[in-house]
Structure 1
């Protein structure tokens, strides 16, 4: 049940037939693990909190740098040098004390991903390297937790929901394969990044995450598993491609044979 103050706070959601009171109550009971509090993670965190997601855990091993401030919207000059995960949690508590927020000031990897993913309804990954994304994806498949993936490089963005634990559905590893388990991505410092564009991709990521969280409760739409939205920020334009299940995928394809 939503208390009167929560009904007032989320009134503009509740009047939407696609969400309604049942949908808002579902968001209030949901638990989301956010990987990264950077360019994607900062605006994603803001919209997850604004949507009323009841429990949010933030994972980030980095500290705030002055060069982060043009896109990492939850931080200010006063935060420079502080741990991002801890400052992210402070931001959430100030924004909405009713949200239960946890900070994990560490790097998520293949050794700890399963522990961190367990118990959540959804993982939103805004990390900036393939090694992390693949470790998170593999843990999501093993734990049966849906994954919303948001990736940005210069003016190109990719957003998709993955559910490799479900029959016939692809995981993130089906999309990128096994060649990128090393930490080999180009960085924002090398390539550059436009803050507004990263925010655009992050907002779409939260929209897709809400489709997952509200599936079966509201009419927001289906989770669109494996539908990868490609964003071209220069044109601008968006198009969607379908990621196929890789039956040889070492994370989600084993033992499936021709039945998927």
Structure 2
């Protein structure tokens, strides 16, 4: 096999496929508030006789931090045996952000019977957090058990080394890999600005994610995403083009297993500024030697 990390990832994937594990049980739970001692851990204790319970509040939520990034196949929610209508309208989200609304919706619980369990297919959504929340005022969130099932899906860009064509006001290339929505990369106004991550090894890239800044998001418009083995930008293969992307929005681009050591985001043209909040590269090792 050559690389121990490849063996470990393969074995974990195989084991999780044959014996699906509720990976939420490895995580750390929290919630927006706690009523009468019914804390967030009650949704992970395996008991049908205990449940989480928030106060009556605006936008109550329950969250599990999986501690690592997973490709989530499905989520299960078990409702309390009485007063089950308190779960109605709850939204399930998967993502990498503490800000609830920056994560992707996996499902919505319109209604769920007392004591019932519902399963929601998340289609391989990638994230460190699973959140259940009810939008609106004077809401109470309560659930008996929560399950998250999937396989490890590491953002391999976090292992790499980032760089960019220029830096404005200290907003360096590392800001796209710091996990914060409150920082972003920023180049000068220039010709053909770019941001690049050197993955240090050659990967077969399945997809790339780009999160836009919360304001002035139009600065990402027209950006081209490329995967390849060359420092010369245009020698690499185009994975996707960001025509437009809303403020704070995250876009996912399927790269279909493109092979490369570098992922580059660039905007062709004169008097352009490139700025992004977060970047993700997901794939598997395609070789063991550095180029």
The bucket for the TM-score relative to the shorter chain is: under 0.3
State the structure with more CA Rg.
Answer: 2
- Give the TM-score taking structure 2 as reference length: 0.21
Richer in helix (by share)? 1
